[in-house]
Amino acid sequence: MNGPAVRLAARVTLVVAALFILFAARMVVGAQDELRRAARLRAAGDVEGAVVHYRRAARLYVPGSPHVTEALGALATIARDAETAGASARALAAWRSVHAAVLASRSFYVPHEAALAEADARIAALTAAEPPAVDAARPVGVREAAYRRALARAADADPARLAVFLLLAGFAAWVGGALVLFLRGFDRESRPQGLLLRRYGFVMIGGFVAFVAGLSLA
């Protein structure tokens, strides 16, 4: 790969990275908007409607974003308050929203594991306490244990971890190599720096291949 081609590839890569950053920013803004809508509905007494928007906010996961934590906390508060008031259907809807939101944002790790553990425990307890359509003869404790095992299996059914790792590591290498080439791969007269060009050119190409492989396996 010659110098101009490397420079072009580096520029294209940085444009792609900028688009990813814009997409992440859009998710953060979307989560903020969903939180505002949820707060308005909750203040107006429409708790069921608020749960919907809190769930949407919690699903717009960006690592480090405080909005997901806020949304999950609000859902947990609604669920606990509903349990105290004896509104098991509302409590289940809120806890199930926590469960779904956390699992939707997992990759090679599960974020907010404590929130997921509490939600699954309460889902199992509340579901087991309802009059069952089948297996009515089984004790509540036995039914609760069965529900918890089912929820645990759902949590363990992660996406292909190797695929996610390849995707993320490949993207980091692809963008990182391109950034080094763009900033240091050429001197002030635009002459290519041979060693850097070869070294980070391979990093950029290898990262792109790993990124595409991760996408295909995910």
**pLDDT tens digits for range 89-139:** 999 999 999 998 888 777 666 778 899 999 999 998 888 887 665 555 667
Per the structure block, which two tokens stand in for 181? 């080439």
Mean pLDDT of 60-76: 88
Q: Which of 6-15, 40-49, 118-127 has the lowest mean pLDDT?
A: 6-15
Q: Looking at residue 159, what is its pLDDT?
A: 57
Query: What single letter denotes the amino acid at residue 9?
Result: A
The answer to whether the beta carbons of residues 97 and 75 sit under 8 Å apart is yes
Would the pTM of this model clear 0.85, i.e. be above it? no
The predicted-structure confidence for 49-61, as pLDDT tens digits, reads as follows 999 999 999 988 8
Contacts of 118 (CB under 8 A, 6+ apart): 76, 98
pLDDT mean across residues, the chain: 79
Contacts of 101 (CB under 8 A, 6+ apart): 55, 58, 59, 61, 68, 71, 72, 75
Q: Looking at residue 41, what is its pLDDT?
A: 95
The radius of gyration computed from the CA coordinates of the chain, to the nearest angstrom, equals 24
Phi and psi for 102 in degrees, rounded to 5?
-65, -45
Q: Looking at residue 24, what is its pLDDT?
A: 73
Q: What secondary structure, in 3-state letters, does the chain show?
A: CCHHHHHHHHHHHHHHHHHHHHHHHHHHHHHHHHHHHHHHHHHCCCHHHHHHHHHHHHHCCCCCCHHHHHHHHHHHHHHHHHHHHCCHHHHHHHHHHHHHHHHHCCCCCCCCHHHHHHHHHHHHHHHHHCCCCCCCCCCHHHHHHHHHHHHHHHHHCCCCHHHHHHHHHHHHHHHHHHHHHHHHCECCCCCECHHHHHHHHHHHHHHHHHHHHHHHHC
Q: Looking at residue 216, what is its pLDDT?
A: 67
Report whether pLDDT(163) > 60.
yes
